[in-house]
Structure formats: structure tokens, C-alpha cells
Amino acid sequence: MKTLQLGTRGPVVSAICLGSMTWGRQNSEQQAHQQLDYASERGVNFIDTAELYPVNLVKPETAGVTETIIGNWLYRQGGRDKKVIATKATGFGQIGLRNGAPLTGKILRSTVEASLKRLQTDYIDIYQLHVPNRPGYHFRGIWNFQPQNNREAILENMADCLQALADLQQAGKIRHFGLSNESCWGMSQWLRLADQGLGPRPVTIQNEYSLLCRYFDADLAELAVNEGISLLAYSPSAQGLLSGKHTAGIIPEHSRRNVNIGLGGRCTPNVWPAIDAYLQIAREAEVHPVTLAIAFVMSRYFTAVPIVGASAVEQLYPSLDAASFVITDSLARRIADVYKTHPMPF
């Protein structure tokens, strides 16, 4: 497993990150620990979670269960210093906790303490804000997105959060800071305020990115390259759609589509021909389609770490195989042609 550094001063991590958002819902603690054990054997040292998890579906009474599962594994496994743990604070509109209240510095100070307790650790390697404190275009919000014109209040809140993050970093409770589901304007403001000395500079942004969802290419990629920000790419296989197991009329047993029929708006009439085109590339390359999808994310000209997840440990095999699969120039050209034909299928 290759390793890379996040940001310009962030931790060194495995080139693939293990995601955990279904643990405690679709996966038992034992199954989650099996995935953690296997991923560790394959060289993965990077684990992503959130105080909101598990999802599908989010429920207040289960929020935090996934962190607890990981904490129990860390306690059993030992070697905390050899793992990189990223978690997230729940914020604006995420009704699973605090009724979707926006994040503030005061809330961040308490959420970190709660996550530390569940994770059974003294520090969090990367502490992320799960969503911006304002409307955004992620989760299919792009189709009716209208930016909020409230600049001063937004910046005041950012400054408040940065001060809390600086205090938490000074206390040794978090080591690095990242954003999630942010926009280019939002990232530029966090960076500007941090460079003014108001708090830590973000090292990562965790946004959706896959063969089927490439908003990041339009503007955030330029910011990432020039500002030293690494992408943590969630749903790199489009929540399993790129596995080839799903069709418009076939829902695989025990898949996320059994509880979330549209996969958060990803299952549109336009998505199926796009998937078929990428599956054809994988067949011709004689590679598992998930391996192709994960390797594509890893091949980008900006630093991108795919966050892979699974319902069963066997589903991790093709994802982790991407570590040794190369996207050749000819494959890249084929992918580019399909992208031009199916640029935004959901």
C-alpha cells in the first residue's frame, strides 16, 4: 500500500482510507472489526468516521455508535500511534444530532470531547466539519442551489469555529483540521482566515468524487493544487453503483438500495447508460469495475484519497486491489470520452 502526505503539513496516510458509515446499521461490531483487521493487513492505516454515523438511515439514538465500534477496536488492537483517525462534527441541517443546529465554537469544544470518549483515544488526527453552516450544493442540491448572501455572519461563524479549533489543537485534542461538503468559495474563506492567524489551516476537504460525480474538477481542484489541500473522496464507487451489481430493475440483496431506494438521488434514468459505459471499459481492461473506479480517483493530478466502504469484508478486496492497478494513458482517454458523453448523470 502506497502512502502520501495530506496537505502540506498533514499526516502521512495510506493511499486508500477505510470508511465506516454503515457500521452499527448494516454491519455488526464483529463485522466492522473484521473489516478493520483485513484493511490493516493490506496496509490501510487511515480510518474515517463521524459522530453522526451510522447512516442509512440516520437516527438520533444510533449517532455515535460507529465511533464506539472503532474505539473498541483501537482498545483491543493497540498501536494507536500507527493509525490515522478522522472524524466529523455534525452541523447545519443534519437532524440526527442537536436538531440540525449550526456548528459553533462552543459546540465544537463539546463534540470533540464526546468523540474522544467514544473513540477511546486522547487525540483525533483530523477533525472535520461535516457540512457548511449554510446551504450547499452537495447531496444533489446542485439542481436548485441558491447561495446565501450573508457574508459577514458566515465569516464571523468561521472565525468562532477556528478559534475553538485552535484551542483544541493547542490542548493536543486534535492534530489537524478539515472540511467536508464545502464549496470553492467556502474553502477560500477558511484558508484566508487561517492565514490571517485566526486558527489552523485546513489540510483536507472531504467531498463526493467518483467517475459519476466530478464537481470537484470544475474549481476546487485548482484551489487544492495551489493551496496544498488534499481531497478525501467519499462514495468513490457511487455507493456501489459502479460495481455492476445494480441495474434500474435489480437491487442487490443487503445493499444500501434496500433501505435507500434512490441512493440519495443517484439512481436517475441518466445514470444507467453512464454506468454501462464504465463497465464496458472495465471488461475490456479485464479488471473489476470497482478496482477501476477506485484507481481512477487515485490517479488524479490533485492529491485524492478514496474512502472505501463495504457491507461485507469480501467487498473490500477489489477496492484495495486498486492500490496496485495503474490507469494507463489509453484507459484515461477512454474514461475522458465517457465523461464527455455522460458528464453529470445525477
Percent of all residues in the chain with a pLDDT value above 90, rounded to a whole number: 91
pLDDT at 137: 95
Number of neighbouring beta carbons within 10 Å of residue 266: 23
Contacts of 23 (CB under 8 A, 6+ apart): 29, 31, 32, 35, 53, 54, 65, 66, 69, 70
| pLDDT range class, residue 252, cuts 50, 70, 90 | confident
pLDDT at 251: 83
> Mean pLDDT in the chain?
96
Q: Domains of the chain, with CATH numbers?
A: 3-239+292-325 (3.20.20.100)
Contacts of 340 (CB under 8 A, 6+ apart): none
Could you report the per-residue pLDDT of 156-176, keeping only the tens digit for each? 999 999 999 999 999 999 999
In the predicted structure, residue 146 carries a pLDDT above the cut 90? yes
In the predicted structure, residue 113 carries a pLDDT above the cut 90? yes
Backbone angles phi, psi at 245, to 5 degrees: -85, -20
Of 38, 53, 75, 137, the active-site residue reads 53
In the predicted structure, residue 259 carries a pLDDT above the cut 80? no
pLDDT at 76: 96
- For range 127-144, the mean pLDDT: 96
CA distance 335 to 261: 27
In the predicted structure, residue 221 carries a pLDDT above the cut 80? yes
pLDDT at 114: 98
- For range 39-63, the mean pLDDT: 95
Write out the three cell numbers for 341: 458523453
In the predicted structure, residue 336 carries a pLDDT above the cut 90? yes
Write out the three cell numbers for 56: 442509512
pLDDT at 226: 98
Write out the three cell numbers for 171: 490542548
| pLDDT range class, residue 256, cuts 50, 70, 90 | confident
Nearest residue to 266 via CA among 28, 53, 47, 56: 56
Write out the three cell numbers for 222: 485548482
CA distance 59 to 142: 25
Q: Does 137 qualify as catalytic in the annotation?
A: no
Task: Extract long-range pairs of 284-290: CB within 8 Å, 24+ residues apart.
Answer: 284/334, 285/331, 287/325, 288/318, 288/321, 289/242, 289/243, 289/244, 289/318, 290/237, 290/242, 290/243, 290/315, 290/318, 290/319, 290/322
pLDDT at 236: 98
- For range 16-44, the mean pLDDT: 97
| pLDDT range class, residue 263, cuts 50, 70, 90 | confident
| pLDDT range class, residue 184, cuts 50, 70, 90 | very high
Could you report the per-residue pLDDT of 298-307, keeping only the tens digit for each? 999 999 999 9
pLDDT at 50: 98
Backbone angles phi, psi at 127, to 5 degrees: -105, 120
pLDDT at 249: 77
pLDDT at 258: 76
Determine whether 199 is exposed, middle or buried from the number of CB atoms within 10 Å of its CB (0-12, 13-18, 19+): buried
User: Which residue has 489509453 as its cell numbers?
Assistant: 330
- For range 243-272, the mean pLDDT: 85
- For range 140-163, the mean pLDDT: 96
- For range 285-311, the mean pLDDT: 97
- For range 64-81, the mean pLDDT: 97
CA distance 234 to 336: 21
In the predicted structure, residue 250 carries a pLDDT above the cut 80? no
Give the dihedral sign, CA 188/190/194/196: positive
